[in-house]
Chains A and B, each alone.
Chain A
Amino acid sequence: MNLWRLSLAYLRHQKLTAALNVFLLALGSAIIVVLLLASTQLKDNLVRDAGGIDLVVGAKGSPLQLILSSIYHIDAPTGNIDLAEARRWSRHRLVDRAIPVALGDSVQGFRIVGTSDDFLPLYDAEFAGGRGWHAPMQAVLGAQVAAATGLSVGDNFAGVHGFAASGHTHEDSRYTVVGVLAPTRSVIDRLALTDVRSVWALHGGLGHDHGHEDEHAADDHGHEHEHEHDEDHTHGHAEQPGAPDHDHHDTHAAVEQAPLPSVLEPDFPATGRQITALLLISDSPLAALTLPRLINRVSSLQAAAPVAEITRLLGLIGFGLDTLAAFAGLMIAAAALSVFVALYNALRARRVDLAMMRSLGASRVQLLRHILLEGQMLALGGVTLGLLIGHLVTEGLGLWLQDAQLFHLTGWAWQPAEWGLLVMAVVVGLLAALLPAIQAYRVDIARTLAGE
């Protein structure tokens, strides 16, 4: 027997009350844990998915929509922009790297992103198998795409027009999987990557509306041949005369030796070609300040900074999170009050027990500690259960979000602020048990036992 077991015995004796108090505390702290884990991981995800991109240049529209569609791949694109104009900005002196993004198709709900080789290093993506594309219609799959579709290197698939799971499929020209990426826990896991030229091959340079896409579907090959013809001409006297860009997907042999040069190279024919957005990276802090204003003013394009948009988005979400957190805090306060009332009421009935313990040799301090301990056990039990539930719920939420192809969320992470919850439990337990404990300390053994 010791004080710990004595307190436990009393809690067991009042199972229902104890369970109710633990449950109240657990619920409040579980909500806080979920909010804590979800909000920090959401922020981490947003920052990681931004991949160090300083600016996104795209068609005019909502800057948030531009960021969501071309970086996070969760919204419809704002429109297309001319490659020529995009290329002009990629040459700006404040820009260190520029990466094209062309959207339009998907595979089993995962977006196919036409881009350049520079896209992979943004997310430190490494190959789990295969290699990068060396020709159009070759695709590299993100880890989650490969896992969900079951496609692996050497397989081929048809892109589906649009971003829904079903729709018009480009059956006539199929993609070949040349590489599969290792998981990165970033947005790239959910993308199928290919060269911009593949998207152009299927969409005729992306130059026309989706509305009359189908009419032109038959001509697509025609366009393609024309464009590639152009390309061959220009690249004939480019820096790789030995490796002519016969990127027609039938002539593999010569093409597959080296990566394709970026379509942003100045000698690439831009006429009639469009991309969805241009991702810009700059070493200069000035870029994020001056470029958007400049681009928005002098061109028909818009530029948006991911960091600014994330901050704005988190600000909007943050308000909701604060409200929920306040609600959870209120629940914890109610739980603390409930623990207090339970201990206080129980003490009336226990006054005789406490006096009897004194009669058996207990000191006043022992009785004080006995009641404080009981408060601590309730509070710590509640918060510990809350932490457990919070982490489990977060993990469940993460699995569900994974199915919904949204951001990565895991319950198996620990936030330093959770230590704060445990400290709070100790304080709550102490506060709730303090008054009853002091009463236990003051129990008069003569009046209680000899007065009866």
Chain B
Amino acid sequence: MLCIRDLEHCYTDVPVVRLAHLDVGAGEQLAILGPSGSGKSTLLHLLAGVLTPTRGEIQVCEQPLARMSEAARDRFRGRHIGLVYQSLHLIAALSVAENLALARYLAGLAPDPARIDDTLERVGLVAFKASYPAQLSQGQRQRVALARALVNEPRLILADEPTSSLDDANAERVATLLIERARAADAALVVTTHDRRLADRFERRLTLGETRVVA
């Protein structure tokens, strides 16, 4: 599903991310840990094809991201990768349901109101489908972003610090949703976090800075 070889990325001269070897199969779940500034977000963006690595190769579903054209990579990401950014980036001009509909439309998928309702149902937000992001709490917004990442049934789910700004109850709820949804869809799940509450629920963890996979 996800396969990394000799990956290195530098914004300037200093490498921020250096990873010799990483494989995540379908249905597998991995937490990327590390202190602030250790390159967790950078790695996740590399996996999503948002950033292009300075060196090395990343394959998602047997497709080498770096060798795709920019347009092809955007289309591929829209269709096969569900990405939750650290700062969500919900579209404020659109309602919750419209945010999900936009994700389907831009990925070139047929509109499917039933699936949107179903996805919102699973994150417990059907009642808020007509609300706008500004009218929601931080925890609700986090779940909208999660729903948006799930609505296209991606093969790879990436989430950047999905629980960092949430209280215990909400963090628990989001973590459970992520893990269960990924398992139900048999998708690969990679989350970054420095939140012990979330990290503890993953058996497989990668701590950055040490370049070592904890099995």
Contacts and interface: CB of A to CB of B under 8 A. Distances in A.
Contacts of B111: 1
Nearest to A8: B93
A2 interface: yes
Contact of B103 (A360, A445, A446): A360
A363 interface: yes
Contacts of B77: 359-361
A357 B90 CA distance: 10
A390 to B, nearest CB: 31
Nearest to A13: B93
Contacts of B93: 9-10, 12-13, 353
Contacts of A366: 106
B144 to A, nearest CB: 13
A366 B41 CA distance: 27
B106 A360 contact: yes
Question: Which one of A361, A445, A449, A452 has the highest number of Cβ atoms from chain B below 10 Å of its Cβ?
Answer: A361
B149 to A, nearest CB: 10
B15 interface: no
B164 to A, nearest CB: 14
B89 A361 contact: no
B89 A356 contact: yes
Interface in A395-452: 445-446, 449-450, 452
Interface in B95-115: 98, 101-108, 111
Contacts of B106: 357, 360-362, 366
A366 B78 CA distance: 14
B42 A450 contact: yes
Interface residues of B, number: 32
Given A360-B102, A362-B78, A452-B87, A446 B51 contact: yes
A450 B50 contact: yes
Interface residues of A, number: 25
A128 B51 CA distance: 83
A265 B50 CA distance: 98
B104 A13 contact: no
Nearest to A367: B106
B169 interface: no
Contact of A361 (B41, B85, B108): B108
B102 A450 contact: no
B94 interface: yes
B48 to A, nearest CB: 8
A185 interface: no
A39 to B, nearest CB: 43
Interface in B66-88: 71, 74-75, 77-79, 83, 85-87
10 contacts: A6-B102, A359-B48, A360-B103, A360-B107, A361-B108, A363-B71, A363-B75, A366-B106, A446-B52, A450-B51
Q: Which 3 A-B pairs have the closest CB atoms?
A: A361-B78, A13-B93, A1-B101
Given A357-B106, A449-B45, A449-B85, 8 more contacts: A1-B101, A1-B105, A9-B93, A360-B102, A361-B74, A446-B45, A446-B50, A449-B89
